[in-house]
Amino acid sequence: MSWLTHTLNGLAYGSLLFLVASGLTITFGLMRTVNLAHGAFYLLGGYLAYDLATRGTDYWLAMAIGVVGAAVAGMIAQRLLLHRIAGQELPQIVLTLGLALVIGDQILAHYGGDPISPPTPPGLTGPVELGALVFPKFRLVLIGIAVGLALLVSALLRYTPIGAKVRAAVDDQEMARTVGIRVPLIFLLVFGLGTGLAAFAGVWGGAFTSLSPDSGFDVLLLALVVVIAGGLGSIPGALVAALAVGLVEEFGRVLFPGWAMFTLYAAVALVLALRPQGLLGKGAVR
């Protein structure tokens, strides 16, 4: 029975990691924009929703404003800053790192450094009991959300005209421009989608764990692990990698508690040694 609990919990934690990584796999994996500010947008969404919810705004409205707010902030950053250095990875690293520090310090100045936690979505608090199995409702729902989100975003990219334009814009920018695709607009929207997803993860992930001005980088690190192990730009890859990381973390902590930090990165190193392009990566496209 405890094995079932551990497995479910590993999947739930993996689902949280997927929520965080889904946005990054779009901005970094797909658009090839190195975005070290991903964790900062995660915080931005979480803190906005927390702020509104504690002032009495309806939970779902607070969440929506948090997500849209961070998406708009992301688009502004893309338009004003990142747009100018498209394709230049080193300036992107420095710029987005600086952006992450600025956002983190603004949060510190505004909300203080004590950790906060956005509320658990209404109706999802407490455990469910299925026979002898006691498991938190919220975590169970999280697994469903992650799988649903993965399907939705994959379908969006694969089967819709917008998705086709995005793939075209990413694969060959000049050719896409010549056939009339508005590449800058596409990039702007995709970046907004990525930061919006980060913010959504901040609202829900913050309820799962908690948020503090410095937790953005912890999240970024795990998201990078998932995106790279899953294969750059592959949504199904990110889902598989996230769930695998969740399970490895869970069982690593149960079976070898003294090696908690080691088991995860050892597993990732093994994956990359055998498949440098990641689990479901397409190999070297460039």
Partner 1 sequence: MGSPPYRLRVLAVVAALLAVAACGSRSPSIEGAPTSATAATGGKGTLTVGLLNPLTGPFAALGTDVNAGFELYLKSKGGVLSGYGIKVVKEDEGTDPAQGTTKARQLVEQSKAQMVVGLVNSAIAYAVAPYLEQADVPLLITVAGADGLTRKKGGNTFRVSYTSSQDVMPLGEHTCKTLGHKKAAILGLDYSFGWEAAGGFARAYEDAGCAVVQEIYAPLATQDWGPYVNQIKKDEADVVYVVAPGSDGIRLLKAYRDFGVQLPMVAHGSTVDETTLPTEAGTAEGVISSLHYTPQIKSPANDALVAAFTQERKKSANQYADDGWTAGMVLEQALAQIDGAPTPESLRAALTKVKVESPRGPVSFDAYGQAVYNVYIRKVEQRDGGWANTIVTTVPEVGQFFTYGEEKYLTFPGYDKLKGTWAK
Distance CA 212, CA 116 (A): 6
113 lines the binding site for partner 1 (CB under 8 A): yes
7 lines the binding site for partner 1 (CB under 8 A): no
Sequence-separated (6 or more) residues with CB below 8 Å from residue 280: 230, 231, 234, 236, 237, 240
Stretch that binds partner 1, among 6-14, 141-149, 224-232, 273-281 (CB under 8 A): 6-14
Stretch that binds partner 1, among 22-30, 77-85, 171-179, 253-261 (CB under 8 A): 253-261
Sequence-separated (6 or more) residues with CB below 8 Å from residue 221: none
- Which amino acid makes up residue 54? T
Distance CA 213, CA 105 (A): 7
117 lines the binding site for partner 1 (CB under 8 A): yes
Which residue lies nearer to partner 1 by CB, 111 or 168? 111
Q: Are residues 74 and 41 in contact, defined by beta-carbon separation less than 8 angstroms?
A: yes
Stretch that binds partner 1, among 11-19, 28-36, 176-184, 225-233 (CB under 8 A): 11-19
3-state secondary structure (DSSP) of residue 271: helix
162 lines the binding site for partner 1 (CB under 8 A): no
Interaction site with partner 1 (CB under 8 A): 2, 5-6, 9-10, 12-13, 16, 108-109, 112-117, 125-127, 129, 134-136, 138-139, 208-210, 212-215, 218, 222, 249-250, 253-254, 257-258, 260-261
